[in-house]
A and B are shown apart, each in its own frame.
Chain A
Amino acid sequence: MSETVASNLAAPRSGLPGLVDDWSVDKQTYHVPWGKAMMWIFLVSDTFIFSCFLVGYMTVRMTTAEPWPLPTDVFALSLFGSDPIPLILIAIMTFILITSSGTMALAVNYGYRRDKRMTAILMMVTAALGASFVGMQAFEWTKLISEGVRPWENPWGAPQFGSVFFMVTGFHGLHVTGGVIYLSIVAWKVSKGHYDKKGYEIVEITGLYWHFVDLVWVFIFAFFYLW
């Protein structure tokens, strides 16, 4: 196919013009399947959503006149009759979610080796870890609700605490839930051999989404639970 455009060939340029040339070559800008490019663009867009949520959270935390409840007290849990341990549940949840990123990365690797069985298994493990994260989140919500936390009020101080908590963790939880469903569908299709001809990029694309959800959690964890 190089003959058709052969009349246009010239030596590549360097520096900034070369950069522009690289980005503006014909056919495609990035040497990746379109699905992967599309996922990246979506994730950047989604980053803006979570950034807006977090900026909103920081703003109301500054504007509210009432004291902000102490996360170490609110998110403490007693295990087996011990004294309440601060942030123990959230530590476990974070650990699980980060671990699921690891299994996801392994799944991508096995996918490119075209090992259908291992890929599907690892993706299902990832989905199971994600589901257990959502389960623990449901437990955490139930506990806080039973203690009187509502979106419009809570027993310890600024009502915005509950508002932000339910909104941000809820929105992230929806992302995780969506990811679990997405992972399960792709894993099922992988096991059926659906991608033998098309290639296994889809596993990596799913992985991109999953890693993104995990990364967002790290920020939510840092800004909401540790601050």
Chain B
Amino acid sequence: MAYVPLADQDHELHDPHTFITKYVWSQDHKVIAIQYGGTAIFVGLVALFLSAMMRLQLGFPDTFTLIDPSSYYQAVTMHGMIMVVYLLTALFLGGFGNYLIPLMCGTRDMVFPFLNMLSFWVYLLSVIILLSSFFVTGGPTGAGWTLYPPQTITPGTPGHDTGILLMLISLGVFIIAFTMGGLNYVTTVLQARARGLTMMRLPLSVWGILVATILGLFAFPALLVSAIMMTFDLTLGTSFFMPAIMAAGEQLDYNGGSPILFQHLFWFFGHPEVYIVALPAFGLVSDVLSTHARKNIFGYRMMVWAIIAIGGLSFIVWAHHMYVSGMNPYFGFFFATTTLIIAVPTAMKVYNWVLTLWEGDIRLNTPMLFAIGFVFTFIHGGLTGLFLGNVVIDLPLSDTYFVVAHFHMVMGVSPVLVLFASLYHWYPKITGRMMDETLGKLHFWCTFLGTYAIYLPMHYLGFLGVPRRYYAMGSTDFIPESAQALNANITIAAIFVAVAQVLFFINVFWSLRNGKPSGNNPWGATTLEWQTPETPPKHGNWGPEMPVVHRWAYDYSVPGYHQDFIPQNVPGDFGVSEDHDHDTEMKSPQDAQ
């Protein structure tokens, strides 16, 4: 039966009239994106506060009595879970995914706006459930963000009664929210692109978000299932993950379960999760770099295939988190191999970013600084990943500060730098005003240099064998005095970086009113979101005429054109435009008919 593709339909858009339907129960992807982003940044600040608490304890164990060992573990757990799931996943996919997908794909909204709205409200619910665990008896769970059983459930772990239950419920609710949003993102990218916008003309941002969302849809089920099973172990007394076990001198009522099963399920989610965070960052940073270097992204197709390859490989590397878990040692060989193979497409991407900058007309404004900063931190974090991916090197380094340094560099700092790059880059589109450059650059240098001051010394601590997740080191032979001095320095740097983030918030709120009006396309960017008739884009994005795409997303500095960028919706052939070979000449079967 014949039907019309979305790009050719006159969309029936719901038409919001009241304040409530416009800004609160809104189905507009842009409003939802801001709601998602605001909530995510808010919980991110909670997690940042927790990390400051931990650092004060570690740096000056005898000076501050802010937290006791139990609340230290609770802080570790909540910091980790909030940062990875509730901040980074939600901000990249719920925030930037929502904002950019319809604009970059040239549609009026997501395909299913109502579900999209529901996604945000369910996400908000999951955040409320999570934060409520701070206020229940026993406090939030202190099991570590990986929630490994049996200690998650056994008495003695902080929050083993109510806190862990709220954590599991919150994760379940988050996954429902993510699934509703994720279905929308994937379907919108696949089925609702503008005329002329082939997949191989999509900006890399969309590619990164698309593949990350697909990873999420396939990886979160494992977390959901492990959360359900653990909830039953906790509340009904089943033994999925619980072996026969003594705790506090008493035989518990469990037997025959498999703690390793949890680790497998958790990391089957957990490793793709790394790339759920990293792939959107890869995409967004590619667009920022290309725009501000006034040069096409180097090796566009290679970049796309690398994103897809990394996404696929990320499902078969999970057990490299489990070299010390007691699983079959032969697994180590397989998982170390796949892990190192992932370095190939990743390195390709790094080379391509650097080559994009090569001989570019680089504009060192705030977004560009953050994007280049990302390339640095990502290379450093990635290189330590090669250490940890090898079984023999991982064994002594496992559970030391080397691991902490590694993952904070590669999936903490790096995506956060991209987040800042993207926020500075797209803020003019979201608000119609520019952010202040001086404050922005100050913010960058404080953050960038500060993170090195925090994490470089941690590598050294790790080589010394300083274990992670310890409340205080005490006096141990293998940890010299100098290590403690280093710890104090790290804490000072960490507090400095945390406070420096105030610059960003001042900038955001000050620029909202006082920023220079940006116009539609302040950076001279080619992608569709900068070609909207109004800034910020009105409901429905495009006015009466839907955009038609005539070229790929990276026509910068094309010789023979009167300006140094050609927007995607400008028709015509201007000599040597596109560097990728054939896609330019592609047509859709529908058009041929």
Contact = CB atoms under 8 A, between A and B. Distances in A.
- Do A and B come from the same complex? yes
Contact of B591 (A1, A45, A59, A159): A1
Given A1-B8, A34-B191, A49-B224, A151 B258 contact: no
A26 B6 contact: no
Contacts of B219: 48
Given A37-B191, A48-B218, A28 B7 contact: yes
B258 A59 contact: yes
Contacts of A158: 256
A82 interface: no
Nearest to B192: A34
Given A2-B591, A21-B586, A56-B265, A160 B7 contact: no
B198 interface: yes
A28 B191 contact: yes
Contact of B588 (A27, A44, A48, A199): A27
Contacts of B186: 38, 41
Interface in A126-143: none
Given A10-B585, A167-B229, A27 B193 contact: yes
B110 to A, nearest CB: 10
Given A30-B191, A37-B191, A25 B225 contact: no
A27 B585 contact: no
Interface string B564-593: 000000011100000000111111111110
B261 interface: yes
Contacts of A24: 198-200, 583, 586
A56 B240 CA distance: 8
Nearest to A25: B588
A112 B253 CA distance: 57
Nearest to A53: B225
Contacts of A201: 1, 3
Nearest to B6: A34
A24 B589 CA distance: 11
Interface stretch (B33-41, B231-239, B438-446): B231-239
A167 B193 contact: no
A4 B572 CA distance: 10
Interface string A8-28: 111001000100111111111
B218 A25 contact: no
A52 to B, nearest CB: 4
Contacts, number: 207
Interface in A33-48: 33-35, 37-38, 41-42, 44-46, 48
A214 B404 CA distance: 46
B197 interface: yes
A158 B184 CA distance: 42
Nearest to A23: B199
Nearest to B238: A163
B258 A63 contact: yes
Contact of B257 (A10, A33, A63): A63
A41 B220 CA distance: 14
B52 interface: no
A190 B484 CA distance: 72
A34 B8 CA distance: 13
A61 B16 CA distance: 54
A60 interface: yes
A163 B239 CA distance: 8
Contacts of A10: 582, 585-587
A27 B1 contact: no
Contacts of B118: none
A33 B3 contact: yes
B342 interface: no
Contact of B218 (A4, A30, A45, A162): A45
B548 A5 contact: yes
A54 B192 CA distance: 35
A66 B244 CA distance: 12
A48 B236 contact: no
A199 B3 contact: yes
A146 interface: no
B294 interface: no
A151 B586 contact: no
A7 B217 contact: no
B119 to A, nearest CB: 13
B303 to A, nearest CB: 14
A22 to B, nearest CB: 8
B588 A49 contact: no
B187 interface: yes
Residue among A4, A17, A28, A37 having the largest count of chain B Cβ atoms under 10 Å: A28
B108 interface: no
B111 interface: yes
Contacts of B190: 28-30, 37
Interface in B196-218: 196-201, 217-218
Contacts of A45: 179, 182-183, 217-218, 220-221
Contacts of A52: 221-222, 224-226, 265, 268
B549 interface: yes
Given A26-B549, A49-B224, A152 B256 contact: no
Contacts of A66: 255-256
24 contacts: A4-B571, A5-B550, A7-B571, A7-B572, A8-B196, A9-B585, A9-B591, A25-B199, A26-B586, A27-B5, A27-B192, A34-B6, A38-B187, A42-B179, A45-B220, A56-B265, A59-B258, A60-B257, A66-B256, A152-B236, A159-B239, A163-B238, A163-B240, A200-B1
Given A5-B548, A27-B195, A60-B240, 8 more contacts: A27-B5, A30-B190, A38-B187, A53-B225, A55-B265, A60-B256, A60-B261, A160-B238
Q: Which 9 pairs between the two chains have the least Cβ-Cβ distance?
A: A24-B199, A64-B256, A10-B585, A48-B221, A163-B238, A52-B225, A25-B588, A49-B221, A152-B237
Interface of B: 1, 3, 5-8, 111-112, 179, 182-184, 186-188, 190-201, 217-222, 224-226, 228-229, 232, 236-240, 243, 253, 255-258, 261, 265, 268, 548-550, 571-573, 582-592
